[in-house]
Chain A
Amino acid sequence: MQWFIDIFSTNSGIFDLLFKLFAVVISVIYLIYALIVLRQSRLMLMAINEGGGGFIRFTAFLQVLLAVFLIVVSFAII
């Protein structure tokens, strides 16, 4: 509770809180975007199936993992 009060008692505390909030919100939006692109890339591969389908699925999944990592980092590190 004291920690929560201390955040609002200093300018740097408010700045850190706003930065953390901004980072988490942007990370969540990025995760939603990554999930949409993952789904769309699968639909695109159904529309035209060329070699490299595995690479495209893997990279789209990697983007989702990156988004999750970004959320974890935003929560944990800042």
Chain B
Amino acid sequence: MEDLSVPSHSLFHSFCVRPSVKFETQMDNEEILLVLRAHPITQLPWILNGIFILILMVCINLFATSIFSFQQQFVLNVGTGAFVFAYYWFNFLAYFFNVGIITNHRVIDMDFHAVIYKEITEARINKVEDITAKSGGYVASLFNFGNVYVQTAGNELNIEFENIPRSSDVVKIINSVIP
């Protein structure tokens, strides 16, 4: 199991042990043990989509000279580049700021849906009843990522960490923190 006393970052900051991070609702005596993000391989679709759009733009340029003037083509190319930039930036923000945080007091799931909707779900460590790790499929097995579900007692919302790396290790870490 991971040594929780030594800070480390792996997999493009998707599995960070004791990172130098602060979050909004952090208490004074609260230490961050683990910060989790989706496995980088799950971000491949939007990366490839952007590349495809750029290739499409280059191909259209070959045929567009007969339809558009040079100035119009220039504006179209700049516009397409701006669109791809916006698409990449939007998806990067969604990847970077959708985090799961495990501290010595709480388990926190921070989600930004479509960048503009913020949802923070947290559970006290001593209220955690059940922790489940699910991992299925060839890609998930190959790259070792899955989902972790943290259930608490009563009617409180459950916490879900989706597509996180080393889901089994995360379960072990949460179990080790529970008093």
Residues of chain A having any CB pair with chain B under 8 Å: 16, 19, 23, 26-27, 30, 33-34, 36-37, 40-41, 43-44, 46-51, 56, 59-60, 63, 66-67, 69-70, 73-74, 77-78
Q: How far is the CA of A74 from the CA of B71 in the complex (A)?
A: 9
- Evaluate contact between B93 and A41: CB separation under 8 angstroms: yes
CB distance from B78 to the nearest CB of A (A): 6
Q: Would you call B20 an interface residue if the criterion is a C-beta within 8 Å of the partner chain's C-beta atoms?
A: yes
CB distance from B25 to the nearest CB of A (A): 9
Given contacts A40-B112, A47-B23, A48-B110, 8 further A-B contacts (CB under 8 A): A36-B116, A37-B93, A44-B115, A47-B24, A47-B97, A47-B120, A51-B20, A63-B86
| Chain A residue, CB-CB nearest to B94 | A44
A70: which of B24, B79, B93, B99 is its contact (CB, 8 Å)? B79
- Evaluate contact between A23 and B75: CB separation under 8 angstroms: yes
- Evaluate contact between A73 and B78: CB separation under 8 angstroms: yes
- Evaluate contact between B118 and A37: CB separation under 8 angstroms: no
Which residues of chain A are within 8 angstroms of B24 by Cβ–Cβ distance? 46-48
Q: Would you call B27 an interface residue if the criterion is a C-beta within 8 Å of the partner chain's C-beta atoms?
A: no
- Evaluate contact between A40 and B75: CB separation under 8 angstroms: no
| Chain B residue, CB-CB nearest to A47 | B24
Inter-chain contact count A-B, CB under 8 Å?
Answer: 79
List B67-101 residues whose CB lies under 8 Å from chain A.
68-69, 71-72, 74-75, 78-79, 82-83, 85-86, 89-90, 93, 96-97, 99, 101
Interface bits B103-130 vs A (CB < 8 Å: 1, else 0): 0000000101001101010000000000
The 10 closest A-B CB pairs, nearest first, are: A44-B97, A77-B71, A48-B23, A49-B22, A50-B21, A47-B24, A40-B115, A66-B82, A23-B75, A78-B71
Q: Would you call B19 an interface residue if the criterion is a C-beta within 8 Å of the partner chain's C-beta atoms?
A: yes
B85: which of A36, A50, A66 is its contact (CB, 8 Å)? A66
- Evaluate contact between A48 and B85: CB separation under 8 angstroms: no
Q: How far is the CA of A33 from the CA of B97 in the complex (A)?
A: 18
| Chain B residue, CB-CB nearest to A59 | B89
Which residues of chain A are within 8 angstroms of B116 by Cβ–Cβ distance? 36, 40
